[in-house]
Structure 1
Amino acid sequence: MSVALNHTIVPSRDKRASAEFLADILGLTAAPQWGPFVPVQTANGVTLDYMDADEVQGNHYCFIVSESEFDVIFERIRERGLDYWADPHHGKPGEINHLYGGRGVYFNDPNGHNMEVITQPYA
Structure 2
Amino acid sequence: MNVSTFSALAEPNRLDIVELLRDGPLPVGEIADRLQLGQPQTSKHLRVLNEAGLVEVQPVANKRIYKLRAQPFQELDDWLETFRRMWEEKFDNLEAYLRQLQEQDHRGGDKE
TM-score normalised by structure 1 residue count: 0.28
Higher-helix-fraction structure: 2
TM-score normalised by structure 2 residue count: 0.29
Higher-strand-fraction structure: 1
